[in-house]
Structure 1
Amino acid sequence: MVNEEPTDVIIWNVQSDASFASEIMKHLAGMRRTEGISTKNFLLDIAAGASSAQSIARLAHARVRLILVSSDFVNALVEDQLTIDASDAVIAARDERLQNQLPYRIIPTFVRPVSTEVYEKDPLLGKIKGLPRNGRPIQAWRNQDAAWAEIASELRQVLIALGRLKPSQRSW
């Protein structure tokens, strides 16, 4: 780990996608154990009784905001049941050079099918490249563990780019 303080990664999902949040947490366990990242599930944190102020503070501190995108998530955004306060990320999303200057990254991760047209029109998420890179939602993968491993690997690269992790010396 480059820094002594843990690097917070927030998983943001709606209740119907809770099983996907559990899966990514499993695939990030190695980085939690060996590289000192801290993972928090924003939805579970609030459900477990943490105050909204504490939860918002954790979100504000997080270096990575992994958003699990599905039709239910998009619907929650539309219905104002979910708010993503990331106005600086909206500006940065329009200009990739600016996104590299933010102290955090928003990473949309497609877990279930969502209308491409609706997603691309979203003022925040529509301009940010999502994962998996092939654009296929994780639910559609025959081997979902392979999809999650790809997400974890991409997340590791983001943390290296942010200066939060050292590049691996392993050749395998």
Structure 2
Amino acid sequence: MASVFFSYTHIDESLRDQLEIHLSLMKREGLISAWHDRRIIAGDNLDDSIDEQLEKADIILLLVSANFIASEYCIATEMTRALERHKAGDARVIPVILRACDWHSAPFGKLNAVPTDGRPVTSWANQDEAFTDIAKSIRKAVAATASAAAPKVGTASAARSSAPQPAVVEPSAAAQLPRSSNLRVKHEFSDLDKDTFVSETFDFLARFFEGSLQELEKRHGQFQGRFSRIDARRFTASIYKDGKSVSQCTVTHGGAFGGHSNREITYSNQISSHANSYNEALTLTEDSQTLYLKPMMSMARGVSEKLSDTGAAEYLWSMLIEPIQR
């Protein structure tokens, strides 16, 4: 069984929880055991417990974000020792890119990161797909680790391994009862949590559209973009080709005239001041751990029913840019 160590910051704990869920099958199959600092028992020395598990780990996951890189403990202590063990061939270090950040020039930047191509988890429209991609990569790493650790037939180590060995019980293991890693409970989201999520997502959408229009102009000179923030709850975006309008939209947070829920974001494929005229609506939804936005047309368009802020931005942007991609 391979021991998996999570190196992360508590700000990213919810994403770590989601990753651990996706590793549950491997734990059930007896392929891995997982450890992170939430398993430290009350009264135990924090540094000693982390050092002990870090030294025992076969696979060390660096859950990378700007907060991780900014953490002195994560970088100077956990990452540094992890890379030393990786270089010595005693462990395998896998960077898991959770959020967009400048990680390529970090000490672990030359290692093959997951998800595929180091694409940040939060940039996937469906984060379950990102975590599935990560889990599959970890499964391959576990198999490679087990293969490398297997004794070779005919060697002295193989002969020793076949001989009866005395049972050795580590003091810490004897004092610690086994327990489940499935200790997550349903998170209760307040009205403030929900309203803040939708409001911050709308502001992110506005910045995303403005930045995307600017980048479109830089890459394709025949196209011009126009972004206008009408007010705190509405913006418009237009794409022109050689001065002629080819695509436009209005994105609204809730209903300007009370026609829609405050926890809804609507998209209209025309410049409009009427909130009750739209082609798509993203409505707040939740599961036991996370808040999401659900597209009204998710089944018809074949998109995820659980969109993060980045997923929602990519989805609505695809509707605006679609006319010039046909």
- TM-score scaled by structure 1? 0.74
After the TM superposition, list the runs of 4 or more consecutive aligned residues in structure 1 that deviate by more than 6 angstroms: none
Structure 2 counterpart of 1:121, one-letter code: S
Identity %: 29
C-alpha offsets along residues 105-125 of structure 1, whole Å, 9 cap, x if unaligned? 11000001102xxx22222x1
**What is the SS of the residue equivalent to 2:112?**
coil
**Which residue is equivalent to 1:162?**
145
Greater RCO (CA < 8 Å, at least 6 residues apart): 1
How far residue 49 of structure 1 moved from its aligned partner, in angstroms, is 4.9
Structure 1 or 2: more strand by fraction: 2
Instruction: Choose the corresponding residue for 1:128, options 108, 111, 118.
Output: 111
Q: State the superposition RMSD in angstroms.
A: 2.2
**Structure 1 pair 24/126, CA: closer, same or farther in 2 (3 Å)?**
same
Q: Distance in 1 between matches of 2:124 and 2:55?
A: 32
Distance 1:48 1:113, change over 3 A: farther
Cα-to-partner distance string for 1:7-51 (whole Å, 9 max, x where unaligned): 21011110110011101110111110113410112x323585542
Report how many residues are paired: 143
TM-score (norm 2): 0.41
Summarize deviations over 1:71-116 as a string: whole Å, max 9, x none: 110111xxx23322235257x3xxxxxxxx713111000001102x
Please say if residues 45 and 55 of structure 1, whose CA atoms lie closer than 8 Å, have aligned partners that are also in contact: no
In the alignment, is residue 45 of structure 1 matched against residue 39 of structure 2?
A: yes
2:95 corresponds to: 108
Alignment-mate amino acid for residue 112 of structure 1:
R
Instruction: Look up the match of 1:19.
Output: 14
2:47 is the alignment partner of 1:64: no
Amino acid at match of 2:104: E
C-alpha distance 54-126 of structure 1, shift in aligned 2 (>3 A): same
Does structure 2 retain, via aligned residues, the 8 Å contact 1:103–1:162?
no
Judged with a 3 Å threshold, the aligned counterparts in structure 2 of structure 1 residues 61 and 89 are, in CA distance, closer, same or farther, namely closer
Partner of 1:3: none
Can you list the C-alpha shifts for 1:113-170, whole angstroms capped at 9, x where unaligned?
102xxx22222x12211111232100110111111111111001011111269xxxxx
In the superposition, relative to structure 1, how do residues 145 and 161 fare at CA in structure 2: closer, same or farther (>3 Å)?
Answer: same
Q: Which structure: greater helix fraction?
A: 1
1:161 to 1:55, Cα distance in 2 relative to 1, 3 A? same
SS at match of 1:147: helix
Extract unaligned runs of 5+ from structure 1.
Answer: 1-5, 93-100, 166-172
Q: Tell me the residue number matched to 1:86.
A: 82
Structure 2: which 5+ residue stretches go unaligned?
A: 149-326
